[in-house]
Structure 1
Amino acid sequence: MPRPELLARLHQACAERAASDLLRRLRSVSEADGATVVVDGRRLLNFASNDYLGLAQHPRVAEALVSSARRWGVGATAAHLLGGHRAEHEALEHKLAQWTGRERALLFSSGYLANLGVLTALLADGDLCLEDKLNHACLIDGARLSGATLKRYVHADVASAQRQFDTQPQCAALLATDGVFSMDGDVAPLRELAALCRDQHALLHVDDAHGLGVLGPDGAGSVAEAGLATGDVPVLMATLGKAVGVCGAFVAGDAALVEGLVQFARSYVYTTALPPALAAAASAAVDIARFESWRRDRLRTLIAHLRAGAAARGLTLMPSRTAIQPLIVGDSATALRLSRGLEAAGFYVPAIRPPTVPPGAARLRITLTALHTEALVERLLDALAQLMRAE
């Protein structure tokens, strides 16, 4: 019997996605300017950005990058342990540890690599990893790569997590959760999960990619907002490409955790370090994110405005208090029609479809940034209400 042909199988999978309105399409943005982007020659109001505080094009951030690039060049040239670790990385790690109230922080080149590195360094065959069903893909992939038994609990349901712990009471265990869920915008019940992990003698790992900069005192994130310290959440991961507006990620915790990751996190050890110029840009952005609290105030005002305006127009948004404001529309074809209708009206709001979200939960994922205004939000709501009435 002949072997299956792998490329043919891949092509068939793509054809099946296309037939189900699930095919992803790569589109190039030719220009970005504040709250607008140019796509296919058209300037659109961007309501799909994760640049929640509006820092990606901030002059101080850009100048820090340029100045550092003049000194260091555009690449780190090596892995951190082989000469790629520069003064810019060291300074940023110190600043991130201070911001999040932890002993040390360790930079990774992306959030995906950070979660893969943590989970494969901490977990092994025979261990138990519990994860929320709506966790980001990199947390799921990290658990699978680790060889641990992966069990997923009902979204944000602490009792469900308890039941999963009870299935393997003798195993070393880790519970991983998003702090803010990237597609729903809600916040994990972190206090309750921390209490559960204490009772179970399990490690709690929080991915705060969408909480850092937005929630908590000084924008220190969802863990800080919940009043939890290193003892409650020993492993904190967050990215530098959302509210911080740059690139990369970090893991923060006590010195023993970070030293262990330096030794055993393969996605740290065996990859080229983040360019030092990007570390310098992130360092400048962290200062702005941390100390310019008006940006968070502005974002909260816009979130409240969007939600009130949506309710007044009969649009039901998911229960989120963060910058991620999803509108569930159900099937993928409807989500695509609405997204295209909004684009025709001058708005960039891509449709989110399975497998990124569960079947029947296709949506428009509306995101707000401090660069938006109430007038822009009103224009979006009017266009969306008109399209929904036509459905």
Structure 2
Amino acid sequence: MSEIWRARLMDAQERRRRKHQNRQRHVHSDVTLDFAGNDYLGLASDARVAKAAAAAARRFGSGARASHLVSGHLAIHQELEESLARFTGRQKALLFSTGYMANLGVLQALADAHTAIFQDRLNHASLLDGGQLSGARMRRFHHGSMSDLTRLLERSSATHKLIVSDGVFSMDGDIADIAALAEISRQHAAWLMIDDAHGLGVLGNDGSGSVGTRFNSDAVPILVGTLGKALGSGGAFVAGDALLIEHLMQFARSYVYTTAQPPAVAAASLAALRIVESEPERRERLRQNVCWFRREAQTIGLPLADATTPIQPLLLGDEQRTLAWAAALEEEGLKVGAIRPPTVAPGQARLRITLSARHSRSDIERLLAALARCWQREAA
């Protein structure tokens, strides 16, 4: 390696370490109680989902062998796309290998120099990256501010306008005002794109998310969902009218030039989707866990963000403090996410606690007791 390049990489890493922002991987242990992942319904370990994956691997093999447009589009992929379209109340759905690739593909395929993209400031990195790579002019409005969005739209002279928002914001756990976004889109002849990665399977009476069947494709023309969170498998999809899906099939480079997802993953997603549809009690158990955790955490005095979803941020502010709390919890066999800049804004470091339907009341009590000890040590 060139010494010039070596020095550059070492300097970048040292600067991040000095700010207590260095990221590390930890091998997850079965004895660790997970409050960091996104397996909201507990389906990643469901025996029926694993059985479906194994059966598909035996039938179709371990890989799809090619892209969807060559020879990799198998019967199980087609069945999953049709099921996802029905589940979200759309005409068509299109599978992508990851949620990141879905967002990059949509924005690259739809936007160009004549397009203006308006993004919530707290959107996921994949949406922001997709906007930057698209060649469009991108403006970011204040988080959840319809007045700021309206101001930016009124100033724009772009031929085509696209409003983009998360459905549930991944670091704050709050829910976008989909109805207001849809109305503003209508008023300004803009299209609306919602990435409902953290809402799908969790929100709505039927589990179809923050958008799903509540808002049709006229209100929300572009709906992105992931399969690796509440559905416990992997990959992602875009759902919408047939014209949109055909356009993405032709022009979304991250779809056209990528090997199709393994058939076992598609089968696992299909099995999980059927469980989501047939077992609403999982969502109810999750909702009860969230409500109980929030009530008890507030009794302790913990500084929770105002979120009603399974994503429960505990706002600690300082990077060192956040790392210390996460380490103390890990010593007690509890895994939580220690989120620091640049993922969140300076001064907004937090523990990102995620709840699941698989958590028992005793699991949550164990977490609360450990958090209380962290809180009490600081107060002493």
User: Do Structure 1 and Structure 2 share a fold, with TM-score over 0.5?
Assistant: yes
In the alignment, the residues of structure 1 paired with residue 205 and residue 292 of structure 2 have an alpha-carbon distance, to the nearest angstrom, of 22
Q: In 2, distance between residues paired with 1:87 and 1:276?
A: 9
Q: Which amino acid aligns with 2:11?
A: Q
Aligned twin of 2:256: 269
List per-residue Cα deviations over 1:251-293 (Å, max 9, x = no partner): 0000000000000000000011001111011100000012200
| Cα shift readout 1:110-153 (whole Å, capped 9, x = no counterpart) | 00000000000000013100000000000001011110011000
* Preserved CA contact (<8 Å) 2:116 2:158: no
The aligned counterpart of 1:81 is 69
Residues 183-238 of structure 1 deviation map (CA, whole Å, 9 limit, x = unaligned)? 0000001100100000010010000000000001310000137x311100000000
Quote the offset at 1:5 in angstroms. Answer: 3.3
**2:52 matches 1:64:** yes
Deviates more, 1:166-175 or 1:13-22: 166-175
Q: Which residue of 1 aligns with 2:245?
A: 258
Question: Which one of 361, 366, 375 corresponds to residue 353 of structure 2?
Answer: 366
- Counterpart of 1:103 in structure 2 is 91
Alignment of 1:152 onto 2:140:
yes
Amino acid across the alignment from 1:332: E
Q: Distance in 2 between matches of 1:196 and 1:5?
A: 50
- Once residues 79 and 132 of structure 1 are traced to their aligned partners in structure 2, the CA distance between those partners, rounded to angstroms, is 33
Q: Deviations over 1:64-93 (max 9, x none)?
A: 100010011111110100100000100000
2:183 is aligned to: 195
Contact 1:218 1:291 in 2 (8 A): no
* Displacement after TM superposition at 1:166 (Å): 1.9
The answer to whether the 8 Å contact 1:76/1:85 transfers is yes
1:326 maps to which residue? 313
The equivalent residue for 1:301 is 288
Q: Which residue of 2 aligns with 1:346?
A: 333
Q: What residue in structure 1 maps to residue 117 of structure 2?
A: 129
**How far is the alpha carbon of 1:8 from its aligned partner?**
2.6
Q: After TM superposition, give the deviation of residue 345 of structure 1 in Å.
A: 1.9
Structure 1 residue 357, shift from structure 2 partner: 0.8
Structure 2 unmatched ranges of 5 or more: none
- The DSSP-based 3-state class of the residue aligned with 1:5 is helix
In 2: Cα distance, 1:6 partner to 1:233 partner: 46
- Counterpart of 2:9 in structure 1: which amino acid? L
Q: SS where residue 131 of structure 1 aligns? A: strand
Q: Contact 1:217–1:224 (CA<8 Å) still a contact in 2?
A: no
Q: Following superposition, which runs of at least 4 residues in structure 1 exceed 6 angstroms of deviation?
A: none
- Residue 368 of structure 2 is matched in structure 1 by 381
Tell me, yes or no, if the aligned pair for 2:114 and 2:158 is still in contact at 8 Å. Answer: no
CA distance in 1, matches of 2:254, 2:155: 31
Asked if structure 2 preserves the Cα contact closer than 8 Å seen for 1:76 and 1:272, the reply is yes
- Paired amino acid for 1:177: S
C-alpha RMSD of the superposition:
1.3
Aligned to 1:15: 14
Count of paired positions: 377
Structure-2 change in CA distance of 1:334 and 1:264 (3 Å)? same
**Whole-Å separation in 1 of the counterparts to 2:316 and 2:201:** 29
State which of 244, 264, 273 in structure 2 corresponds to 1:286: 273
TM-score normalised by the chain length of structure 2: 0.97
SS at match of 1:219: coil
Alignment partners' CA distance in 1, 2:177 and 2:5: 42
TM value normalised by structure 1: 0.94
Runs of 5+ unmatched residues, structure 1:
30-36
Identity of aligned residues (%): 50
Residue type matched to 2:115 in 1?
D
C-alpha change, 1:163 and 1:6, in structure 2 (3 Å) is farther
